[in-house]
Amino acid sequence: MESSLCKPWEHELSRRQLLGTATGAAMAAVGLGPLLQPTIANELKKKNKQVLFVWLDGGMSQLESWDPKPNTQFGGPFRAIPTSVPGIHISELLPNSAKQMHHLALIRSLCTQDNSHSAGVARIQRGDPKNRGVTYPYFGSAVAKLLGPGESNLPPYVWIKPGSGGFKHDDAGFLGPKFGALAFGDGLPPDNLLLHESITEQADDERDQLRQAANRRYAARRRKEVTEANSYVFEMARTLMKRQDLFDATKLDPRDVERYGTHEIGRHMLQARKMLEAGVTFVKVNSYGWDTHGDNFNGHASLVPKFDQAFGAIVEDLADRGMLEHVLVIAMSEFGRTPRINGHIGRDHWPEAWSLVMGGCGVREGIVVGQTNEKGTFVSTDEYDIGHMFHTWFRALGIDSTDIEYDNAGQPLPIAHDDMHVIEELLA
């Protein structure tokens, strides 16, 4: 007689289950459309995983941050300081992060493939998979697709950045424009988010019904990907209209404002915490201006402490709130900087041996993975590329990157580099 109890393996997410079909359009979860079947989507959604992705554009120096080599030929002027984890030392420019090291893991053995910004930024954020003639999604778009918006129904991929905002569909690659990033320029909401005072809710609903009817007619004659994205962005805007509290600076605790810093990255990181608290699946915080070919050391003396203030504060807060249980925190650049110090007292691009920091979501706490040689010039242990990191991050998010594939209009595509693997020692 068959037991009515389900078997353990029935809860596992098989590759076949996950492949899904293009006809799965009825699925409600944003991001799981053509890829995953509803039951599996629900399994992933239940995990309610989130990501904070801090992107330091231009290339933070590993030697002035996570992998200091004081008193060596290329070590630079700064001291190393102890952290909350005995035996782990980082640059003196990171005193707040040092206090949070017991929540974090350092990877000091990154060796990636590109030393140019123009190709490197995208290559790193897309996970640098094997070339299959398609444009892969940025990590944020991938997570938006694979995890969806969760119960918050807020946009799944939010990008808090200096400068202008808007909907950045390029990030999504072959996933289609709706998996792009909703960017909040300077952390501010889109213009005219508030409903005009002359419009009642009822009038607004009626207008929306009219809009939807018009949209259906418009969509009937156009490519689905484009019209879906249009509708999606509009729906996101309507959702955000109900969450104006997320942008209300007057509700911020002044102590938090001070702790995070009133500078750009401090304000943006605090905004990111609010977004994560509200349930946004993937929040990217972007800082520009880290490409210090000249005056690197004064540049880092100015830049790193501001990053550190904001980063230390958010890690502390996520830990205090119990959110590190389900929020994966990553801070990185497109590469590190040369050990060699040039005549401009700068450091150039160096993908050969660099570092990133991560934590939360099952990442082992207070560890260092890999090391560079005495002078910091090359990796002296196993080298890890960005593909290894993608596998590891997906695993931390409950996504088995060896099993799940994208379905690009019938073309199965691995979600991370198929010759690379999870860095097991990073995960608990």
Partner 1 sequence: MTDASTDLATRFEPKEYAILTADPQVFAARFHPSGKLLAAGGFDGRVRLWDLSTEEPKELPALTGHNGWIQAIAFSPDGQRLYAGDSWGKLSAWDMSGGEPQLVWSLDGAHDGWLRDLDVNADGSRLVTCGRDRVVRIWTTVDGAPLLEFRGHDTDVYSARFHPQQPFVVSGDDRGLVKQWSATDARVVREFDASVLYLEHRLQDVGGVRTLAFDRMGGQLAVGGTIPKNGATVQGTPSILMFDFETGELTHTLNLGDANHCFVHEIILHEEGFVMAVTSGTPGQGQVVFRRPGDEQPFFTTSKLSNCHSIHLHEPSGRLAVVATNRGSNGNGRQLGKDGEYAGNNSPIHLFRIAAALMERS
Which residues sit at the interface with partner 1, rule CB under 8 A? 58, 70-71, 73-79, 92, 115-116, 162, 263-265, 287-295, 298-299, 301-303, 306-307, 338-346, 348-352, 375, 377-378
Min dist. Cβ of residue 62 to partner 1 (A): 15
The smaller minimum CB distance to partner 1, of residues 115 and 380, is found at 115
Q: ∠ CA 26-27-32 to the nearest 5 degrees?
A: 135
Six-digit token string for 234:
């509009």
Structure-token pair, residue 395: 């695993």
Under 8 Å CB-to-CB from 427, ≥6 apart: which residues?
362, 363, 364, 392, 395, 396
Q: Which is nearer to partner 1, 86 or 289 (CB)?
A: 289
Nearer to partner 1, 123 or 349 (CB): 349
From CA 260, how far away is CA 250, in angstroms rounded? 16
Half-sphere exposure for 60 (CA within 13 Å, toward CB): 29
Task: Please state the closest distance from residue 333 (CB atom) to partner 1, in A.
Answer: 12
Closer Cβ to partner 1, 296 or 392, answer by number: 296
Question: Would you say 75 or 180 has its CB closer to partner 1?
Answer: 75
Minimum Å gap between C-beta 299 and partner 1 is: 6
Q: What single string gives the DSSP state of each residue in 215-283?
A: HHHHHTTS-HHHHHHHHHHHHHHHHHHTTGGGG-GGGS-HHHHHHH-SSHHHHHHHHHHHHHHHT-SEE
Q: Which residues of 397-427 are buried (b: 16+ CB within 10 A; e: fewer)?
A: bbbbbebbbbbbeeeeebbbbbebbbbeebe
Strands 80-82 and 89-91: antiparallel
By beta-carbon proximity to partner 1, the closer residue of 116 and 411 is: 116
CA 318 to chain centre: 15
Least distance to partner 1, CB of residue 306, Å: 5
The residue among 294, 352, 281 whose CA lies nearest residue 48 is 281
Residue 374: CB minimum distance to partner 1, A? 12
Please report how close the Cβ of residue 136 comes to partner 1 at its closest, in angstroms.
23
Min. distance of Cβ 287 from partner 1 in angstroms? 6
Find the helix packing angle between 201-219 and 224-241, rounded to 10°.
170
Q: By C-alpha distance, which of 270, 354, 376, 372 is closest to 58?
A: 354
> What three-state secondary structure class fits 387?
helix
Angle in degrees, CA 292, 297, 301, rounded to 5: 105
Q: How far is the CB of 294 from partner 1 (least distance, A)?
A: 3
Specify whether the CB–CB gap between 225 and 172 falls below 8 A.
no
Q: For partner 1, which is the closer residue by CB, 115 or 239?
A: 115
Other C-beta atoms closer than 10 Å to the C-beta of 39 total 11
What one-character DSSP code corresponds to residue 188?
Answer: P
Residue nearer to partner 1 on the CB measure, 113 or 402? 113
For the CB of residue 85, give the shortest distance to partner 1 in the complex, in Å: 23
Beta-sheet pairing, 411-414 with 405-408:
antiparallel
Between 247 and 288, CB nearer to partner 1: 288
Residue placing its CB nearer to partner 1 in the complex, 174 or 307: 307
Rounded least distance, CB 297 to partner 1, Å:
8
